[in-house]
Amino acid sequence: MACVYIPVQNSEEEVRVALDQLPRDATDILDILKAEQAPLDLWLIIAREYFKQGKIEQFRQILEEGSSPEIDEYYADVRYERIAILNALGAYYSYLGKIETKQREKEEHFILATQYYNKASRIDMHEPSTWIGKGQLLLAKGDVDQAFAAFKIVLDGDRDNIPALLGQACVEFNRGKYSNSLEMYKRVLQVYPGCPAAVRLGIGLCRYKLGQFERAKQAFERVLQLDPENVEALVALGIVDLQSNEGWSYLVDAVKFMYLFLLSCMLLVAASGIWGAMEKMRRAFDIYPYCATALNYLANHFFFTGQHFLVEQLTETALAASTHGSTRAHSYYNLARSYHSKGDYEKAGLYYMASVKEINKPQEFILPFYGLGQVQLKLGDFKSSLSNFEKVLEVYPENCETLKAVAHIYLQLNQTTKAHEALKKATRIDPRDPEAFLDLGELLISTDSGAALDAFKTARSLLKKANEEVSIELLNNIGVLHFEKGEFELALQTFKEALGDGIWLKLINTEPQSALVGGSYPDPIREALYQPMDSCLAPRKYKDMQLFHNLEKDGISVDFPWDKITTLSNLARLFEQLHKTETASLLYRLILFKFPEYVDAYLRLAAIAKSRNNVSLSIELIHDALQVDDKNPDALCMLGDLELKNDDWVKAKDTFRAAKDASNGKDSYATLCLGNWNYFAAVRSEKRAPKLEATHLEKAKELYTKVLVEHPANMYAANGAGVVLAEKGQFDIAKELFTQVQEAASGSVFVQMPDVWINLAHVHFAQGNFSLAIKMYQNCLRKFYYNTDNQILLYLARTHYEAEQWQDCKKTLLKAIHLAPSNYTLRFDTGVALQKFSASTLQKTKRTVDEVRATVAELKNAVRVFSQLSAASNLQFHGFDEKKIETHVGYCKHLLEAAKVHCDAAELEDQQNRHRLELARQAAIREEESRVAEEQKKVKLEKRKQEDELKKVMQQEQHLERIKEHWKSSGSKRKDRAQSGDEEGAHGERRRRKGSSKKRKRDKKTEAQMDDQDEYEDDNANTNYYEPENHQVHNNQVDDDNDDPQDLLAAAGLEDSDADNDPAAPSSNTGRRIRGWSESEDDEEPEKRQPSTSPPVRDNSVDMQLTDGE
């Protein structure tokens, strides 16, 4: 029984204190110690005993009393003991600090410890044990360099100081100077051969670090001999056996926390280990069955080895064993992670939640927040997930993974700007993370394709730098973005890179003749590709699959993986854009050969066929597509459009309806098509029924508005709405709309909206702003049609006509005929324009002889144009009313005769003028007689020429007369009826004749009363100028003595049918124009619009150019 004896002051007696019977209340002992002024070493002994017994409170009480100022004063000369007491306190607080996990408390402990040591140093700054204590403290604080200095001071004084040596060894180990560390440990062993096993453990670790595995193993084994339960040695032996490289970094950690955490850290090392080596570790675990931390780390190991049931058991044990918040948080985290990785998000979420609840501050242990965020994201709870990720970001504001996750959530919550910010930040923090750039690119694709492209390109170059495979999707996206920007060459390169090598490359690159002339080997691909084909089959080549069959027969694989379809089809789309249509069709067919269910390829082929005017093949291809998916709205819309083209109105409507139904009304394109259909229906009806028209227009408007509500940015719907507005006469609003659409439509290569230009021009026209309208039409023609659209030329001509620019009008019409020679309407219009020009010239009060001559020439042309038409009408090339043409012919001839009078008069006047001039000149300059004579000669010559010309005219007229005679004999019956003045009858006949084609006839009366606004949109197509009232005016002038133009016309054998039917004043400009334009409406659509599905972004490229009508 160990006892201490406290000497009683001023006597020889002593108080005996049995160390194992120390009073529970330390105050009793303290009273004795103070009263007897016991030596301080006794204080220490008693305090130490308390400590040994685990009575920490008493231990502290005695030591704190023993270091109080009054003791200092009393025992001022007892230095060593005072220092020892202070050092003991310092060590105690160092220890507390070391094991404390909460940062604030930890710091407080360390501060106290430092105070005690400093106090000790003040008593004797050379005391080695103080320095050792300080070294330990610094080591615990992780301040390795200062710890080194502290230990060095001690060792400089006594090179064999064991604690200092051990401390220094530890410092050296932490600094990675293992051989130095080993030297220290060895010296300890030399100085103190009976040292505890821990020293040998240090030697083993050093040797292990130095790669001397055998010696390390020996050292560990020696430790185990001395102390079979030494966990560290067990673990270390395990590691040595594992020979695991990955363990090294953990080992370094392990040494850092050697004092308490060594065990657990070793187990962590084991986490990356192999099962066989785990035996020893499990023994270690057996020794400390309730060491929750160890359990956690062991669980961690099993998590990584994928043995989830063990993880669960271990962590549950750990949870039972520990009440310490941080440890429990770890345990829950392990458990949650295990479930998380198994995909059991519900349970994982619960455990993450439990883990989070154990944590006071996210700073301490952030991982469960991240995990919880992930799980909630997975479960679709974006808001909670976001708040958790934001907590992670509070601690680690620059964590890229979290930033990306947050960006993803923002995207899901439609907060694109915030998502954008987060991703931007992520890419800024780690400019080498391809994934962040990928995400950024995807985010930007719809808003800022240029920035998206940059992001994708960065991602690509990063991946390439890291030698990682660049995914086909990424390359595809880059390609599409280049494509959109119109950088076709770059797009081509990118697509090719994405696709790599394969049959497609051969199909694209095989040239008709081998580069090696003469030595050309038989190349089956070339043969298959460049085989001449029977021209009968040529129109069907977009369906030809024989090529691929042949190739397969030749043993050439035409396979390609499914993930390349998209890119392949984009490449084909690119070839289309580059007008390499043959290559494009080849690729589409290749896709269909292997994947016949890829609808888009059918649709593109159909679109190609359609653009080539091959309607039947196009329809066939769409039916193929519909066989794959009979509810495909795109295919249905395209079909409807083609049916419209074939003039199959009812069918088209059904098809559009089906398309709309198939997409549950969500496909705005189908809705748009239906809107267009209604609009056309409104303006096409044979007999104009205002009620029906209004219904259709209303319906069209409703449909357009519906689309606009869903997609405010839909340009086609806006355009349609504008058309309906214009139709109702609200020109200013319509103009506004069109202008906005026009602005929006400029930019992408995929959005081509010439229609809005045309509509805008129409509005200008309707508002009488001819010069603007002309400019707009011309720009549109040039920008979108390479000047090839005769329809727009017709609009242009009409505008010139209204602006009374006769020559421009004529030239424009001639250009249109040149482009569309078989369009007889254009010829008729030309005739009318010529006639009108002549009439207006003759109307002028002042005209030169040249003008009159030109008029005569144009009149002759007009006569010729009309007579040709008349002749053609016999052959039924076109649907003109014969009688009407005759009327024109007759009228022109009549004008011609009148013109002759004018011509003569003008000529006479001209001659007289000349004569007068001549006389004057003769009088003035008689001396230059010779020159004058010459001039006279010239005048005579000219006169003769003019006479010749007139003669020719007469001849031609006679010729015409003959032709007319011919008609009379062949069509007398019809003519009779026409002459009876039954205009309606004649029209009826015409209508019957044209019954099969879609032409809109209007009741004349309605037309005449229609107002200006209405007419503009509908009638732009119609360019027959038939203007009897103008003729009347003219006649009045020609025959001054005749006051009744109607009589004159009747006398001339002309029936002014319109005048009969039209009670309204013919002088009204509105009425005039309407009648002028309304006569025939061959094959024209009043409005053209081009709704198209969304342009190809990334995935597929159905960019159907569905032109309405025609």
Partner 1 sequence: MKLAWLRSLETCHQDCVWACTWLPASDKSAGLLLTGSLDETVKLWNPDDLSLVRTNTGHCLGVVSVAAHPSGRIAASASMDSFIRVFDVESNNTIATLEAPPSEVWQMQFDPRGTTLAVAGGSSASVKLWDTAEWKLVSTLSIPRPEGSKPSDKGNNKKFVLSVAWSPSGRQLACGSMDGSISVFDVQRAKFLHHLDGHTMPVRSLAYSPLDPRVLVSGSDDECIHMYDAEGKTLLTSMSGHSSWVLSVDVSPDGAAIASGSSDRTVKLWDPKMRAAVQTMTNHTDQVWGVKFEAVGGGARGSLLASVSDDKSISLYNYS
- Residue 59 or 967: which CB sits closer to partner 1? 967
CA distance 38 to 41: 8
Which CB sits closer to partner 1, 367 or 508? 508
Phi-psi map region of 625: left, alpha, beta (phi>0 left; psi -120 to 50 alpha): alpha
Least separation in angstroms between residue 656's CB and partner 1 is 25
Q: Give one word for 146, left, alpha or beta, with left for phi > 0 and alpha for psi -120 to 50.
A: alpha
The DSSP output letter for 3 is E
Nearer to partner 1, 397 or 539 (CB): 539
Residue placing its CB nearer to partner 1 in the complex, 411 or 862: 862
Task: Name the residue nearer to partner 1 (CB basis): 442 or 789.
Answer: 789
Q: Which is nearer to partner 1, 154 or 865 (CB)?
A: 865
Cα 439 to its chain centre, rounded Å, is: 11
Q: How far is the CB of 751 from partner 1 (least distance, A)?
A: 17
Q: Are 65 and 30 in contact (CB under 8 A)?
A: yes
Q: How far is the CB of 743 from partner 1 (least distance, A)?
A: 25
Q: How far is the CB of 535 from partner 1 (least distance, A)?
A: 5
The smaller minimum CB distance to partner 1, of residues 553 and 818, is found at 818
- Angle (CA) 408-414-420 rounded to 5° is 55
Which positions lie near partner 1, rule CB under 8 A?
511-513, 530, 532-536, 538-539, 541, 579-582, 609, 611-614, 785-788, 811, 814-815, 817-818, 821-822, 830, 857, 860-861, 864-865, 868, 871-872, 874-878, 963
CB of 876 to partner 1, least distance (A): 6
**Minimum CB separation from partner 1 for residue 993, in Å?**
9
For residue 3, the cross-strand partners are: 18
What is the rounded distance in angstroms from the CA atom of residue 863 to the CA atom of residue 886?
Answer: 10
Q: Whose Cβ is closer to partner 1: residue 235's or residue 817's?
A: 817
Residue with Cβ nearer partner 1 (472 or 865)? 865
Q: How far is CA 1045 from the centre of its chain?
A: 69
| Closer CB to partner 1, 446 or 531, in the complex | 531
CB of 577 to partner 1, least distance (A): 9
Which structure tokens are listed for 458? 């960065």
Handedness of CA 190, 192, 193, 195 (dihedral sign): negative
DSSP 827-876: HHHHHHHHHHHHHHHHH-SS--HHHHHHHHHHHHHHHHHHHHHHHHHHTT
Angle at 825 between CA 820 and CA 826, to 5 degrees: 55
Least distance to partner 1, CB of residue 943, Å: 19
β pairing state of 3-7 and 14-18: antiparallel
Q: Specify the residue, 11 or 822, whose C-beta has the smaller distance to partner 1.
A: 822
Q: Which is nearer to partner 1, 831 or 1028 (CB)?
A: 831
The end-to-end CA distance of the chain, in Å, is 118
In the bound state with partner 1, the residue whose beta carbon lies nearer, of 433 and 829, is 829
Query: Of the two residues 194 and 522, which places its CB atom closer to partner 1 in the complex?
Result: 522
CB of 337 to partner 1, least distance (A): 60
DSSP letter at 562 equals G
- What are the CB-based long-range contacts (under 8 Å, 24+) for 675-679? 675/699, 675/700, 675/701, 675/703, 675/704, 675/707, 675/717, 675/720, 676/700, 676/720, 676/1089, 676/1091, 676/1108, 677/640, 677/644, 677/649, 677/652, 677/653, 678/703, 679/720, 679/723, 679/724, 679/727, 679/1087
Q: For partner 1, give the closer residue by CB, 857 or 1064.
A: 857
Write down the least CB distance from residue 531 to partner 1, Å: 9
Please give the helix or strand (H or E) that residue 14 lies within, else none. Answer: strand 14-18
As measured in angstroms, the least distance from the Cβ of 977 to partner 1 is 20
For residue 592, which amino acid is it?
L
Q: Which of 693, 798, 738 is nearest to 1019 (CA)?
A: 798
What angle, rounded to 10 degrees, do the helices at 258-270 and 292-305 form?
20
- Nearest one of 1084, 1019, 1105 to 751, comparing CA atoms: 1105
Residue closer to partner 1, measured from CB, 664 or 996 = 996
Least separation, in Å, of the C-beta of 513 and partner 1?
Answer: 5
CB of 822 to partner 1, least distance (A): 4
Tokens standing for 544? 């030809």
Question: 627 is written with which tokens?
Answer: 């066989």
For partner 1, the closer of residues 875 and 923 by Cβ is 875
Least separation in angstroms between residue 786's CB and partner 1 is 4
Residues 593 and 178: their CA atoms lie apart, in Å, by 68
Beta-bridged to residue 5, according to DSSP, are: 16
* Minimum CB distance to partner 1, residue 784 (Å): 10
CB closer to partner 1 out of 557 and 876: 876
Across 714-797, where does the E strand assignment appear? none
Cβ at position 479, least distance to partner 1 in Å: 21
User: Please, what is the minimum distance in Å from the beta carbon of residue 701 to partner 1?
Assistant: 35
Shortest approach of partner 1 to residue 833 CB, angstroms?
11
C-alpha separations of 873 from 81, 429, 899, 957, 980 in Å: 135, 79, 28, 20, 21
DSSP state of 102: S
Closest by CA position to 448, among listed 750, 746, 748: 748
CA dihedral 119, 120, 123, 127 (to 10 degrees): -150
Tokens (6 digits) for 1038? 């020609």
Per the CB < 8 A criterion, the answer to whether 633 and 659 are in contact is: yes
Residue 194 CA to residue 99 CA, distance in Å, equals: 29
Instruction: Give the separation between CA 218 and CA 216, rounded to whole angstroms.
Output: 5
DSSP 8-state symbol, 68: S
Q: Are 755 and 781 in contact (CB under 8 A)?
A: no
Which of 119, 128, 115 shows the shortest CA–CA distance to 163?
A: 128
